Amino acid sequence: MNEIQRSKIILKILNKIYPTTPIPLKHRNKFTLLVSVLLSAQTTDVNVNNVTKKIYPKYNKPEHFIKLGRKRIENLIKSIGIFRVKAKSVYLLSKQLIEKHGGKVPETFDELEELPGVGHKTASVVMSQGFGHSAFPVDTHIHRLAQRWGLTNGKNVIQTEKDLKRLFPKKYWNKLHLQIIYYGREYCKARECYGLACKICTTCYPNRKSPIKTRKA
């Protein structure tokens, strides 16, 4: 079975299990989505949602976070990992949005990636989930699964993104990246499946006997 055949099987299985894909990070607008994605680095969506549900009813615009200042932002998000770094990024990107973009979240990859703390993956999520543009955000979890499923040679997330975009039609990208994340959390976990147990792994590799070692991004 080649990678194109595997990609078709994977798409079929994921569409059956996850016909709909709600956005996992709770948000009120494009700005709060951007903030939540930034906060989600090295922590879980559940942790981010637990923190932001107390923040967003009152603070949900760039000007709100500028008025708060870095120290108060730190206090609001201190239960999240690397909170000082994230608080600095949220404060500085809020300033930049006001100064350069009239308080609005920009709608291009280049402008998004110029914002403090915003890398390509974060920009991809905002372009996909915020604006509805075709994008394929690849995090370490998708990178791991794409290796397990034989869709990439796994050198880094940049290469994985290129490989996934090549294998799957553009119209599926926005939904598919969420389907993969949901499937990985539920069925193909890092320390449970090992490429041997879940439906995708056993269907794509019925004769696989040894656990798959994946390269970190």
For the chain, domains (ranges, CATH) are 3-21+136-204 (1.10.1670.10), 30-130 (1.10.340.30)
Closest-CA residue to 38 (of 71, 83, 79) = 83
Residue 214's pLDDT is: 82
pLDDT single digits (tens) 58-107: 999 999 999 999 999 999 999 998 999 999 999 999 999 999 999 999 99
Please report how the helices 30-39 and 83-101 are oriented relative to each other, as an axis angle in degrees rounded to 10. 150
Query: CB atoms < 10 A from the CB of 139, how many?
Result: 20
The tally of CA atoms less than 13 A away on the side-chain side of residue 96 is 17
Examine the pLDDT at 213 and tell me if it is beyond 90: no
Measured between alpha carbons, how far is 210 from 68 in angstroms, rounded to an integer?
Answer: 53
> If you ran DSSP here, which 8-state letter would residue 171 be given?
G
pTM for this structure?
A: 0.92
Please report how the helices 3-17 and 173-186 are oriented relative to each other, as an axis angle in degrees rounded to 10. 80
pLDDT single digits (tens) 8-48: 999 999 999 999 999 999 999 999 999 999 999 989 999 99
% of the chain exceeding 70 in pLDDT: 100
| CA 90 vs CA 62, 65, 96, 111, 123: distances in Å | 9, 8, 10, 16, 14
Our separate counts of H helices and E strands in the chain read 11, 0
Closest-CA residue to 118 (of 85, 140, 72) = 85
Residue 51's pLDDT is: 97
In this structure, what is the dihedral angle of CA atoms 14, 180, 136, 121, given to the nearest 10 degrees? Answer: 170
